[in-house]
Chains A and B, each alone.
Chain A
C-alpha cells in the first residue's frame, strides 16, 4: 500500500506547504515516484511548483467521482513528482463532501486509484478542522504536523491528538510532528525543543526545520529548495526530516 502523508495543522502559517513541497521533492530526488495533492484553495503548493491552481470540473466533481483524477494530474519540474493541483472551489470542499454518501471517505476515493502509480502520496491540507479534515484523517496513514516551538502550538497539537483519538471513527492515522520555523537564537524555542525531546513519546521527530530565509525565498523562486539552494541548511533539514520519517511510514 502506498503511504499517504498529510501535512496538517489546525493553525496556518506554520510551514505545511513548504514541508509538503520539499519533502515530496526530496522523496522524488531519492528515487521514489511521488504525488502531491494541493488541497488548500489558496493553492500555495501549486504556486510554488509553477502550476496553475485549476482543476477542470472543480473539487465537487472530483470528490463525487465525476472527474477522472488521473486526467487532472500535472507533472512538476521533477520527473518523479506529480501534482494534483489546488482549485479555488476547494474552499467549498465541506459542502461537496457532505453531498456524498460517505463524506469522510471522499478524499480516499480520489486517492485510491492514483496511489498505485506512486510510492508516496503527500497531502498539503488547509488549516482548519472540518469535514474535509476528517476526510483527510480517513485517507492518510500519517498526519505530519509542523509545530512552531511555542506553548500555544504545543497546546494545539495536544488538542489535535485528543480529537483524533476521541472523535475519529475507524482506522486512525498515526500522528507525527516536527518543529518548524525554528529560530535557534530564541531561548524559548530551544527550551521547548529540549523539553519535548526529553518527554516525547516519539511522536515528535528529531529533525527540525530552521526559520531560514531560503524557505521564504521559495515563493520568489517558485521552486523547491533543492532547485535554487541545494546546499543550504534548510534543504539538509528537510532531507533529515524525510530520512527520519520514511522508515516510520
Chain B
C-alpha cells in the first residue's frame, strides 16, 4: 500500500486552509473538516524506528505505525495497556508486531514525545471526483513537562494515491513553484523530539571513531575511552530501571571494551591510577555479570525449552520460575551497586582522569606520546600472535578453560580492530574481522553451552524441591545432554575455524600490517 509522500513547510502566516484556498484556484480540491489529535510517539532508545523511516504514534488507545515522511499507516493495533515501556511481547499478535519484530528485536519502546496537532485534510480530485492526492495541513505543538506547549513549524503533508503518480508530481510542482513552499528537511516528530531536548534519532552505543595515524596514543586512548564512558553513562538509567535487556548489555560491552583498552594500551597511563581504575572496572563487570547471565538465560529459555517438545517444554516451568526469582534478587543487588557512591565515584574519577591525561607527566607513561598507529599495531600484532599460540595448543583433550581463554583474547582482538580500524587498510581489517568472527562464533557457542549446562546442574536441587520439580529435573537432564552434544559439535568445528584464522596468508598479512 506504499504511497509517495513528502512534507512541505508552510511559511509564516500561511495556514493550511490558506494554502488550500490558493491551490483551489489551480486544481479541484475538497477541504474536509479540521480535527485535533493528541499523539504520543514511541521509539526505542537507539532510534530504530527513525532509522527505518517509521514512527509509532499512540492516539485514542490505538498504536499506529506510520511512514515518517508520508504519515501513511503501515500497521496498527490496540494499545495494550497504560505502560511506560512496550516490548514486542506486550503487543497483541498481528501485523504491527510482525512489522516491528525485525526492527526492534529485543529493544523496548518508550514514549519520546507528545504532540498536539490540528490537522486539516485537503483532497485533490480528478475529473471523476476521485481523490488523487491527499494533503494535510498540520499545526502542531510539542507538549513538554508541565503541559508547556512548544509550537512546531506548520507544514503541509502531500501524500500520493497509488496509481496516480502523475497527479502527485503535478500537485507537488504547483505547491513548490506556484505557492513557493519548501520541502521540510525532516519529519515533524524529529522537530518535536529536538525541542523537547531529546536526541533526534536516539542514542547509539556504537563507537564510530576516526583517528589520525600520527595522533598521540594517549589522546587517541582518551577519545575512545571518553566515548565508551558516554555509552556507560547513557545506558545506566535504562539498566537500572530495566527498560530492556540491551541497556545492561551495552553498558557491559562498554565496560569490557574500556577494560580491554586499559590493558592493551597500559603504556599510555600512569601505573598506579590505572591499577585503581582497572580494579574498579573489573568490579563493575562482576557487579553486572549475574544479572546479565540470567537475562540471557531467560531470553534463550523459550528456544531451549522448545527443543524438548510440547510436553516436556511445559515441564521446565519451575526452572523458569526459579531463574526469574534469582533475576529479581540479583538485579536488586546490581541496582544497589550501580547506585552506590563507590560506583558513582569510579565513573566521576575516571572522567576526571581522562580529561587530565593528555597534559599529565609522561615519565611513567612510555607510550603516551608515540603515534597511535604504532602503538595499536604492536598490540594488534601481539594479541593475534598470542591467540595463534593459545589456539595451536588446544587439542581434543584440552580443558574448556583453554577455549574460554582463547575466546577472551579474541574479544580483545576484536575490540582493538574496532577501535583502530580507521588507521589501517579495510582490505586488511575486514577479512581479519571476518575470520575472527567465525572463530568467536564457534568459541561463543562452546562457552554458552558450558555456562547453560553448569547453571542447570547448579540449580537441580532447588528445582527438585519446587512444585512440579521432579518432572522439571528429568527435562533438565535431557537439556544437559543436549547442551553437551551441541558443545561437542562446536568443539568439532573449532579446528577448522581456527585453521582459517591462523592460516599462513592471514599471518603474513598481520605481520606485514601490524609488525
Q: Which A residues lie at the B interface, using CB under 8 A?
A: 31, 33, 49-52, 72-75, 77, 79-80, 82, 117-119, 222
Contacts and interface: CB of A to CB of B under 8 A. Distances in A.
Contacts of A33: 1, 95
B5 to A, nearest CB: 11
B73 A75 contact: no
A50 B131 CA distance: 9
Interface string B152-167: 0000000001111000
B129 interface: yes
A50 to B, nearest CB: 4
Interface residues of B, number: 18
Contact of B130 (A77, A80, A118): A77
B128 interface: yes
A107 to B, nearest CB: 20
Given A50-B129, A77-B130, A222-B129, A117 B163 contact: no
Given A74-B161, A79-B73, 12 more contacts: A33-B95, A50-B130, A51-B128, A51-B130, A74-B163, A74-B164, A79-B134, A82-B1, A118-B1, A119-B95, A222-B128, A222-B129
Interface majority SS (helix, strand, loop, mixed), chain A: loop
13 contacts: A33-B95, A49-B130, A50-B130, A72-B163, A74-B161, A74-B164, A75-B1, A75-B3, A77-B131, A79-B134, A82-B162, A118-B1, A119-B95
A79 B131 CA distance: 10
A119 B96 CA distance: 11
A75 B95 contact: no
Given A75-B3, A80-B1, A82-B1, A31 B76 contact: yes
A82 B1 CA distance: 7
Given A73-B163, A75-B163, A79-B72, A117 B130 contact: no
Contacts of A77: 130-131
A80 B164 contact: no
A74 B162 contact: yes
A50 B128 CA distance: 6
Contacts of A222: 128-129
A42 B95 CA distance: 34
B348 to A, nearest CB: 51
Nearest 9 A/B pairs, CB to CB: A50-B130, A74-B163, A75-B161, A75-B162, A50-B128, A77-B131, A31-B76, A33-B1, A73-B162
Interface centre among B2, B129, B162 (most CB of A within 10 A): B162
Interface in B100-140: 126, 128-131, 134
B161 to A, nearest CB: 4
A161 B62 CA distance: 41
A167 to B, nearest CB: 36
Highest count of chain B CB atoms <10 Å: which of A73, A77, A82: A77
A206 to B, nearest CB: 26
A119 B73 CA distance: 13
A114 to B, nearest CB: 10
Nearest to A221: B129
Nearest to B62: A31
A79 B129 CA distance: 16
B466 to A, nearest CB: 40
A109 B62 CA distance: 35
A213 to B, nearest CB: 21
Contacts of A72: 163
A222 B129 CA distance: 9
A80 B75 CA distance: 10
Interface in B27-82: 62, 72-73, 76
Nearest to B3: A75
B174 to A, nearest CB: 20
A62 to B, nearest CB: 15
A75 B129 contact: no
Contact of B164 (A31, A49, A75, A117): A75
Point out which of A49, A72, A79, A117 has the most chain B C-beta atoms below 10 A from its C-beta: A79
A73 B62 CA distance: 28
A33 B62 CA distance: 16
A51 B72 CA distance: 21
A117 B1 contact: yes
Nearest to B72: A79
B27 to A, nearest CB: 16
Nearest to A51: B130
Nearest to A71: B163
A82 B131 CA distance: 12
A31 B73 CA distance: 9
Interface in B224-262: none
Nearest to A47: B128
B33 to A, nearest CB: 14
A199 B388 CA distance: 80
A73 B76 CA distance: 22
Contacts of A118: 1
Contacts of A74: 161-164
Contacts of A50: 126, 128-130
B476 to A, nearest CB: 37
B163 A80 contact: no
Contacts of B2: 117
A49 B164 CA distance: 14
Contact of B73 (A52, A80, A117): A80
A36 to B, nearest CB: 13
Contacts of A117: 1-2
A222 B131 CA distance: 12
Nearest to B75: A33
Contacts of A51: 128, 130
A219 to B, nearest CB: 14
Contacts of B128: 50-52, 222
Contacts of A79: 72-73, 134
Contacts of A49: 130
A4 to B, nearest CB: 17
A82 to B, nearest CB: 6
Contacts of B72: 79
Contacts of B129: 50, 222
Contacts of B76: 31
A118 B164 CA distance: 19
Nearest to A83: B163
- Most central of A33, A75, A118 by chain B CB within 10 Å: A75
A56 B3 CA distance: 20
A107 B3 CA distance: 25
Interface in B246-294: none
Central interface residue in B1, B3, B72, B134, by most chain A CB within 10 Å: B1
Contacts of B131: 77
B273 to A, nearest CB: 59
A82 B164 CA distance: 12
A226 B173 CA distance: 33
